Amino acid sequence: METLTAVLITVIGAATPLVFAATGELVAEKSGVLNLGVEGMMLLGAVAAFAVALTTGSATLGILAGAAAGAALALVFALLTLTLLANQVASGLALTIFGIGVSALIGRSFVGVPLQRLPQLDLPGISDLPILGPLLFSHDALVYLSILAIPATIWFLERSRAGLILRAIGENHQAAHALGHAVIKVRYLAVMFGGAMAGLGGAYLSLAYTPMWAENMTAGRGWIALALVVFATWRPGRLLLGAYLFGGITVAQLHIQGFGFDIPSQFLSMLPYLATIAVLVAISADGARARLNAPASLGRIFYPEA
Amino acid sequence: MADEGAPARLRLRGISKQFPGCLANDKVDLSLGQGEIHALLGENGAGKSTLVKIIYGVLKADSGALEWDGKAVAITSPSQARKLGIAMVFQHFSLFESMTVAENVALGLDDGANLDELSAKVGEIGRRYGLALQPERVVHDLSVGERQRVEIVRCLMQNPRLLIMDEPTSVLTPGEAEALFVTLRQLAAEGCTILYISHKLEEIRALCSRATVMRGGQVVANCDPRQETAHDLARLMIGEDFDQASKTAEASFGAARLRVQGLNMAAAAIHGTPISGLDLEVAAGEILGIAGVAGNGQNTLLAALSGEQLCAKAETICIEGQNAGDLGPRRRRRLGLAFVPEERLGHGAVPEMSLTDNALLTGYDRQDLLSRGSIMFARTRDYAQRIVQSFQVVTGGIGANAGSLSGGNLQKFIIGRELLQQPKVLVVAHPTWGVDAGAAAAIHTALLDLAHQGTAILVISQDLDELLQISDRIAVLSEGRLSEIMITAEADIGRIGLLMGGHGENGEAGQLDKQGEHHAAPA
Amino acid sequence: MRPRLEARIGVSGAMVYVTPVLAVVLTMACGSVLFAALGHNPAAVLYAFFVQPISSAYGLAELTIKATPLVLCAIGLSFGFRANIWNIGAEGQLTLGAIAGGGLALWAGDDASVWFLPAMIIASLLGGAAWAAIPAYLKTRFNANEILTSLMLTYVAILLLSYLVHGPWKDPDGYSFPQSRMFADSVLLPLLTMGTRLHLGAPIALLLALAAWWVMARMFVGFQIKVVGLTPAAAGLAGFSVRRLTWITLLTGGALSGLAGLFEVAGPIGQLLPSISPGYGFTAIIVAFLGRLHPLGILLAGLLIALSYLGGETVQIELGLPLAVSGVFQGMLLFFLLASDVLVRYRIRWGRSVIVQEAG
């Protein structure tokens, strides 16, 4: 039972960065912008969080720095695609390439430097409960924040007026413009929110999951987050489910080796990537269902018609 | 109902707006009285839509002044226009397909009202003006007429003092249009000014008390449309007398060149209309017209005919006696099919490519423009040149991009491209939509000539007048079903109107009813 | 006066050529600011980065060697990008090409006949194409997004290579280093000049670039690719099969990337290693865009980006800056190119537009 609890706790750790990054991307995509630079924004967030936490000694400042760095890189993307009307796919790829390079450049002096893991927020009494205590009530602040982000996003998109406008812009930007809604402004905010969330995902990696910095330490998690948004058919609730499913696969891969199965580690390491492909195929095959909730303006350039 | 003493509700002075390559509004003056229904009349491209977008704050005028209730104002955004009391129903609806009616209404309001209260108010306005709507329904499940009601209710929620309607009846059946007029007259009687934009002369004469006529971006006339004949209004709108092509009665037609039997097809687009149980035949030399309000399955039928969507059975579609239902567009073209789609840019032509490339696009096989996988550029240029010359396409040359042509010239180019392939069967969608009268007459003449040479032509159009003018037989497509096919010369307009509204009787009995005797024409 | 954008009626011909140059200049300017901020003399860094690497014949040869895989991958990718097929898994296809061709070299052993080299080339083409066939199949059959599938397969391919050189293909005499045996000299690409590492791959890449230009400019299939990318609906009307073009562009891209992989392992490297490419497959995306998706433009862009790799190595040796500087330069270059592209399609207007009187 204790092993199971331990395994489940590591699942939470593996899933949390995905929850952050995918939620941010979901909101950006709901506004009609496809930002493929999640990987780059996560990396920049990871290195910024690590550098600030290490130099100031404050984890809180580190987390804020991670979010700010992700948002700043997202701002570059927004400038390119929303103001300068550049192709969103190409700009997103550029963002990832740039993010990998810049994060490595900034992080070169931090490689191999140890850092105190982000502290757990133990709730007195409840955290000591058997099984449930460690499983539900003894995590760091970012884990709780990632979980809270889901109902908050659902409320925002489904219940708030700002969310209604954001969805309308993603659905039909010309019509939203004709009604006087500020298409570009809302998209700037959505993209930067996506960047901040990706930055938080990166911060979780470098402050809590493996408290250290290594070049390219996201190892494709940004791309998996993008796939999760498709998997979730743009619904935050399903996104949470998907992130934990992927966290589970990532962790299972580590534990299979522990159980002494004689499978080369490389094949086990392929599992999350192969699972992503399998999930994409399963979701996309039913095209009608996948499209129903997809923002109709996704990836299209907005230029106010004459 | 105009109150002579009060200041005009809205007055425009010297409004100008320049777009790249076109002066859309040239020193336009316009004055709208309180509670009057004022027509803004003009052809496509006359500058009407630009002008109303300036009034509604979507576009900004380059120069000129606006006065609201006698006071100078600058309208910089739709939200500001709404605050003044200006509301607008767009020609292409500004609705959000995957959202509910209530959400759509909420998006048109500036304050964040509670959706439940909003739903109640939608119901109340609906009852008062005869605009029934269910607030919780999702828009993509609504008919075109219902969608327009959503737009109108959204406007009325704000108690507007000026309501702008941009080509509202282009998507409505005659019956629905009549109901709309009742609502508009009621609004005007309550003091709301209505700016009514249209190029349909009869409805303006029936509805409006004043008219401003635009041509080429300028105001060319102000008049009382009730005092003018339709012909006079047309002359003001077009600027000259024009010859209309007309059908010479054909004695008999040849063998069937296009035959469709039992066509059932699901819609390709998410919110499209499927086709069920459709049969038709077009003979050599014949023009068959298919009327109907947009969104009743036209796109699905066109995709099925062009081969962009394949039929389950080869024998469903027969071209020149050959089963072609399972053939793609390329092989259907080899059998003699030519095809003009509804959308010119982005379907019929690639905007970023030259006219030469766009000639190659569909002419490659029937004009022999390829040699072992390579393009023969000299032949292709020659073909493009012949299209431009034969159809008097106004362009900078065959190297010009398709996107740089005006709508009418591009349509002439596309129709020319298909006609020069000497098709056995021609399918044309909306041949003159958005085309000026001169080009429209040229296109109609070309179609009639082609039919005279023995081509079987199928024309799908929303413009009933056009179909009555050029087709030999006519049928109506409504909710994916085709009505009985009538001989145009004997057809009853009232009956066609009812069919367009989906009020035809069942098909089998109707087949015999070619003259629609069982139906009295509505008023 | 706020600037605003106004759509041009057509694209600006001059701007198509001006903007890449503008992007390079802006990148250098921004790079200078960055290095000054990091406490380096910008002039020294720029010299070490852009000039020093190519101031010798050896350096020029190295430039060509690095440009070869970039150009091959970028040409393959450009076919897809033109058709709106976003294959970003060239790195994985490159790896599979190296595995397929390199595996054949290892199988042939030390006394392989020279005729194995052509067979290795074919194997690498097939290996890369097979890896690209997976996203092609998943896209055409299940409508799965090729961006994500091709990228995921890149991770899988790199892990597969890692498994091979750690496991079955490990050199038994290699002191347990994860690497294969060296290929026989007879199956290595012949060198072109004495004293440099310039190999036969470079002229082959040049010929393939010319062939690609012919296909795009003259052949009907090139026309179809362009139409599908610009206006899919028009392609449908004309009877061009999107499915067929998806297969063609992905297989071509995969095959060329696979060839690039073979040219690395049967060229400068001479064996299989866990890492056979410093991200050529990803950088090729930048090369493709910088070259305006035009084969001849890609040749020039390939040389420029190859210089950014050499420059990165030089500043690492000379100034102790990390190799990641290359990626920063490459990313910035692509940013500036995408940003300045706006000038091709739009005109910048300051303030109110001038009213032009026209007849009618």
Q: Which of B328, B307, A282, B304 is nearest to C141 (CA)?
A: A282
Tally of CB atoms within 10 A around C222? 20
CA gap C199, C209 in Å, rounded: 17
The per-residue pLDDT for B510 is 36
- Average pLDDT of the residues in A81-99: 89
Q: Which of C65, C123, C69, C64 is nearest to C96 (CA)?
A: C123
Amino acid (1-letter code) at residue A213: W
Q: Which positions in chain B touch A172 (Cβ < 8 Å)?
A: 94-97
Collapse the DSSP code of B222 into the 3-class scheme (helix H, G, I; strand E, B; otherwise coil) and give the result: strand
| Domain assignment of residue B367, given as a range | 342-422
Q: How far does CA A128 lie from the centroid of its chain?
A: 30
Q: How far does CA A112 lie from the centroid of its chain?
A: 25
Distances (CA, A) of C14 to B13, B105, C292, C293: 41, 47, 13, 16
Report residue A290's pLDDT band, with 50, 70 and 90 as the boundaries. low
Which residue on chain B is closest to C214 by alpha carbon?
B374
CA gap B56, A208 in Å, rounded: 53
Does a structural domain hold residue B451?
A: no
**Tokens 């090139």, located at residue:** C222
CA distance A171 to chain B (A): 6
**C9 to B361: CB separation less than 8 angstroms, yes or no:** no
CA distance B362 to chain C (A): 5
Does a structural domain hold residue B366?
A: yes
Does a structural domain hold residue B446?
A: no
**C334 to A93: CB separation less than 8 angstroms, yes or no:** yes
CA distance C11 to chain B (A): 8
The per-residue pLDDT for B89 is 86
Does a structural domain hold residue B89?
A: yes
Entry field: residues in chain C: 360
Which residue on chain C is closest to A36 by alpha carbon?
C147
The beta-carbon neighbor of A172 closest among B50, B77, B96 is B96
**B97 to A172: CB separation less than 8 angstroms, yes or no:** yes
Of the three residues B375, B401, B422, the one that is the final residue of a domain is B422
CB B315 within 8 Å of CB B325? yes
**Tokens 């009743």, located at residue:** B296
**C148 to A226: CB separation less than 8 angstroms, yes or no:** yes
**A288 to B59: CB separation less than 8 angstroms, yes or no:** no
The per-residue pLDDT for B20 is 64
CB B105 within 8 Å of CB B157? yes
CA gap B227, B210 in Å, rounded: 10
The chains in contact with chain C, meaning 3 or more Cβ pairs closer than 8 Å, are A, B
Helix (DSSP H) and strand (DSSP E) numbers for chain C: 14, 2
Q: In a mutagenesis test of the C interface, which of B374, B405, B427 is the best target, namely the one with the most C β-carbons within 10 Å?
A: B374
In the stretch 43-102 of chain C, residues with CB closer than 8 A to chain A read: 86, 88
Q: In tens digits, what is the pLDDT along chain B, a chain of 523 residues?
A: 444 566 789 999 999 988 765 688 999 999 999 999 999 988 766 788 889 989 998 888 999 999 999 899 999 888 889 889 999 887 666 789 889 999 998 988 877 667 788 888 888 888 888 787 888 888 887 877 788 888 888 888 888 999 998 878 766 777 778 888 988 999 999 999 999 988 777 788 889 999 999 888 889 889 998 898 877 887 787 766 555 556 655 557 788 899 999 999 988 766 678 899 999 999 999 999 998 877 788 889 999 999 999 998 999 999 999 999 999 999 999 999 999 998 888 899 998 899 999 999 999 988 889 988 999 999 999 999 999 999 888 888 898 888 888 777 899 999 999 999 999 999 999 898 767 777 888 899 999 999 999 999 999 988 788 888 899 999 999 888 999 999 988 888 778 877 876 655 443 333 333 333 333 333 3
The beta-carbon neighbor of A86 closest among C160, C325, C341 is C341
User: CB-based contact (8 Å) between A270 and chain B?
Assistant: no
Does a structural domain hold residue B37?
A: yes
**A280 to C329: CB separation less than 8 angstroms, yes or no:** no
Q: In a mutagenesis test of the B interface, which of C223, C224, C225, C244 is the best target, namely the one with the most B β-carbons within 10 Å?
A: C223
The per-residue pLDDT for B134 is 85
Token pair of A214, please? 């290594």
**B333 to C239: CB separation less than 8 angstroms, yes or no:** yes
**A285 to C142: CB separation less than 8 angstroms, yes or no:** yes
B380 shares a domain with B302: no
Does a structural domain hold residue B332?
A: yes
Report residue C145's pLDDT band, with 50, 70 and 90 as the boundaries. confident
B272 shares a domain with B180: no
pTM above 0.80, yes or no: yes
The beta-carbon neighbor of A284 closest among C142, C326, C341 is C142
Assign residue B14 a region: left if phi > 0, alpha if psi is -120 to 50, beta otherwise? Answer: left
Residue A291 has pLDDT above 70, yes or no: no
CA gap A281, A273 in Å, rounded: 13
CB C199 within 8 Å of CB C263? yes
Q: What is the DSSP letter of C354?
A: P
The beta-carbon neighbor of A98 closest among C151, C328, C345 is C328
The overall average pLDDT reported for chain C is 88
User: CB-based contact (8 Å) between B328 and chain C?
Assistant: yes
CB C103 within 8 Å of CB C266? no
Going through A42-180 in order, the beta strands assigned E by DSSP cover none
Residue A93 has pLDDT above 60, yes or no: yes
**C138 to A280: CB separation less than 8 angstroms, yes or no:** yes
* Partners of B25 in the β-ladder: B17
The per-residue pLDDT for C3 is 66
Report residue C356's pLDDT band, with 50, 70 and 90 as the boundaries. very low
- Average pLDDT of the residues in C222-226: 96
**B350 to C231: CB separation less than 8 angstroms, yes or no:** yes
The chains in contact with chain B, meaning 3 or more Cβ pairs closer than 8 Å, are A, C
CA gap A134, A129 in Å, rounded: 7
Q: In a mutagenesis test of the B interface, which of A156, A166, A179, A233 is the best target, namely the one with the most B β-carbons within 10 Å?
A: A179
The beta-carbon neighbor of C238 closest among B16, B329, B404 is B329
**B103 to A165: CB separation less than 8 angstroms, yes or no:** no
The per-residue pLDDT for B512 is 34
Residue C291 has pLDDT above 50, yes or no: yes
**Tokens 């009327």, located at residue:** B291
User: CB-based contact (8 Å) between B374 and chain C?
Assistant: yes
The beta-carbon neighbor of C325 closest among A91, A105, A220 is A105
CA distance A301 to chain B (A): 15
The beta-carbon neighbor of B96 closest among A175, A177, A293 is A175
Domain A2-115+124-292 has CATH 1.10.3470: yes
Of the three residues B192, B214, B238, the one that is the final residue of a domain is B238
Helix (DSSP H) and strand (DSSP E) numbers for chain B: 17, 23
**C339 to A284: CB separation less than 8 angstroms, yes or no:** no
Q: Which positions in chain C touch A266 (Cβ < 8 Å)?
A: 159-160, 162-163, 166
Give this complex's ipTM.
0.86
Domain with residue B125: its CATH number is 3.40.50.300
In the stretch 238-257 of chain C, residues with CB closer than 8 A to chain A read: none
**φ, ψ dihedrals at A94, nearest 5°:** -60, -40
Tally of CB atoms within 10 A around C342? 18
CB B155 within 8 Å of CB B89? yes
Which residue on chain C is closest to B17 by alpha carbon?
C355
Tally of CB atoms within 10 A around B459? 27
Distances (CA, A) of B205 to B38, B88, B229, B382: 11, 22, 8, 48
CA angle B286, B290, B294 (to 5 degrees): 155
The overall average pLDDT reported for chain A is 88
CA angle B327, B267, B495 (to 5 degrees): 105
CB A99 within 8 Å of CB A37? yes
B466 shares a domain with B406: no
CB B457 within 8 Å of CB B450? yes
The per-residue pLDDT for C322 is 77
Does a structural domain hold residue B246?
A: no
For chain A, domain boundaries: 2-115+124-292
Going through C123-267 in order, the beta strands assigned E by DSSP cover none
The per-residue pLDDT for A126 is 67
Token pair of B307, please? 């081969």
Token pair of B369, please? 């423009």
Q: Which of A23, A16, A59, A53 is nearest to A38 (CA)?
A: A23
CB A108 within 8 Å of CB C322? yes
Between A9 and B144, the more confident residue is A9
CA gap C317, C59 in Å, rounded: 15
B266 shares a domain with B229: no
* Partners of B460 in the β-ladder: B290, B429
Q: Which of C80, C22, C24, C53 is nearest to C281 (CA)?
A: C80
CA gap C84, C231 in Å, rounded: 10
User: CB-based contact (8 Å) between C283 and chain A?
Assistant: yes
B145 shares a domain with B102: yes
Residue C135 has pLDDT above 80, yes or no: yes
The per-residue pLDDT for A306 is 41
Q: What is the CA radius of gyration of chain A?
A: 19
The beta-carbon neighbor of B95 closest among A175, A181, A288 is A175
**B357 to C223: CB separation less than 8 angstroms, yes or no:** yes
**C9 to B401: CB separation less than 8 angstroms, yes or no:** yes
Of the three residues B177, B206, B238, the one that is the final residue of a domain is B238
CA distance A274 to chain C (A): 7
Cβ–Cβ pairs < 8 A, chains A and C: 141
Does a structural domain hold residue B463?
A: yes
Distances (CA, A) of C18 to A91, C24, C71, C292, C347: 20, 10, 21, 12, 14
CB B437 within 8 Å of CB B235? no
Count of the separate structural domains present in chain B: 3
Q: Which of A104, A100, A116 is nearest to A53 (CA)?
A: A116
Contacts 24+ apart (CB under 8 A), B350-353: B350/B402, B350/C227, B350/C230, B350/C231, B350/C234, B351/B401, B351/B402, B351/B403, B351/C230, B351/C231, B352/B401, B352/B402, B352/B403, B352/C10, B352/C11, B352/C230, B352/C231, B353/B401, B353/B402, B353/C226, B353/C227, B353/C230
User: CB-based contact (8 Å) between C8 and chain A?
Assistant: no
Which residue on chain B is closest to A294 by alpha carbon?
B98
